[in-house]
Amino acid sequence: GAVVSQHPSWVICKSGTSVKIECRSLDFQATTMFWYRQFPKQSLMLMATSNEGSKATYEQGVEKDKFLINHASLTLSTLTVTSAHPEDSSFYICSARVPSPPGPDTQYFGPGTRLTVL
């Protein structure tokens, strides 16, 4: 199956700093990637849809100036958490849309990045 990687897998930072998380599709091109966050023992909450070559589409309640998304190539999307605060501590997971004709697209998930803001 399709492989999606994320880097870093774990990061600890001080409050006020910015953190960049990378999401890569390793063996396929992904025009669309999704960013989710997951709090402990909770479900995945969609943050934004990242489209190659265009601006990301953010879900209601997600601050686009705080969570900067850049989908610069067909294999890479980045999420930058700017001026991170402890409440931003979470598990961030990306996924890449994979066409599955004749049916709808499926999503393959990266391994996730655990962010802890002190």
Which residues bind to other proteins, rule: CB under 8 A? 1, 34, 36, 41-46, 49, 60, 93, 100, 103-112
**DSSP 8-state code for residue 110:** -
Distance of closest approach, residue 35 Cβ to other proteins, in angstroms:
10
| Nearer of residues 18 and 26 to other proteins, judged by Cβ | 26
Q: Which is nearer to other proteins, 39 or 85 (CB)?
A: 39
> Nearer to other proteins by C-beta: 19 or 93?
93
Sign of CA dihedral 92, 79, 62, 11: positive
Name the region of 83 (left: φ>0; alpha: ψ -120 to 50; beta: rest): left
Between residues 45 and 74, which has the closer beta carbon with respect to other proteins? 45
Q: Which residues of 93-110 are buried (b: 16+ CB within 10 A; e: fewer)?
A: bbbbbbeeeeeeeebbbb
Closest distance of CB 113 from other proteins, Å:
10
87 φ, ψ (degrees, to nearest 5): -70, -10
Closest CB 40 distance from other proteins, rounded Å: 11
